[in-house]
């Protein structure tokens, strides 16, 4: 499924980059599933595309910063403001 010329020329740089990254990710998904199918057929061992090439998505949500971490971030931020750094 491609873009029409009108859609392409009306895209912003951000939309173009997101479209491009989506295309690259879809290509990787297709290729890793093909590799998994070939491997599963040749070895009779069932593997998935995620076993072949994981994208590194976290399995659990990250933990929020602790009170000690928040205090450290606050001191660093105040120090940056004091010295004119952004």
Q: How confident is the model at residue 42 (pLDDT cuts 50, 70, 90)?
A: confident
Token representation of residue 65: 């910063």
Q: Do 85 and 73 meet the contact criterion of CB atoms below 8 Å apart?
A: no
Q: How confident is the model at residue 86 (pLDDT cuts 50, 70, 90)?
A: low
What per-residue confidence (pLDDT) applies to 55? 79
- The domain of 62 spans 5-82
Q: Is the pLDDT of residue 1 over 60?
A: no
Q: Minimal CA–CA distance to 2: which of 35, 28, 26, 34?
A: 26
pLDDT tens column, 46-76: 888 888 888 777 678 878 999 999 999 999 9
Q: What is the mean pLDDT of residues 1-27?
A: 86
Who wins on pLDDT, 53 or 77? 77
């Amino acid at each position: 499924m491609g873009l029409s010329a009108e859609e392409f020329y009306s895209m912003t740089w951000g939309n173009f980059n997101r479209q491009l990254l989506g295309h690259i990710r879809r290509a990787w998904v297709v290729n890793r599933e093909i590799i998994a199918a070939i491997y599963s057929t040749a070895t009779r061992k069932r593997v998935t595309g995620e076993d072949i090439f994981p994208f590194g998505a976290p399995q659990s949500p990250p933990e929020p910063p602790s009170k000690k971490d928040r205090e450290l971030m606050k001191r660093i931020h105040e120090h940056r403001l004091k010295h004119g750094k952004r």
